Amino acid sequence: MADVAMWQDQNVRSAFEAKARARLDGLQAEIEGKEGIVAVEPESGEFFVGETLGLANAAAFSRYPDKWLYFARLDNLEAAIALPTW
């Protein structure tokens, strides 16, 4: 089960999101020109791209089952959310 501290502790969530956004900024060259949703694992910097949230999640889940990742729309990186893979 994904760590519930992400929902319960604003400091934990803020730190996770800051690290994920920094990783996402560093991936700009690799994700440029792609469409859909990107899922970023902030610790490793590994990322997964899918046409939809479900497809990005499926790709990420195979490597990171039930772990928190940062999902963002590639056409608007500000449209993002931290979610556990499902």
User: Amino acid letter at 60?
Assistant: A
Q: What is the mean pLDDT of residues 38-53?
A: 98
pLDDT at 2: 81
Confidence label for 73 from pLDDT (cuts 50, 70 and 90): very high
Helix (H, G, I), strand (E, B) or coil at 83: strand
Q: What is the mean pLDDT of residues 19-33?
A: 96
Q: What are phi and psi of 11, to 5 degrees?
A: -65, -40
Element (H, E) at 4: none
Contacts of 3 (CB under 8 A, 6+ apart): 68
pLDDT at 6: 86
| Cα gap 62→14, rounded to integer Å | 26
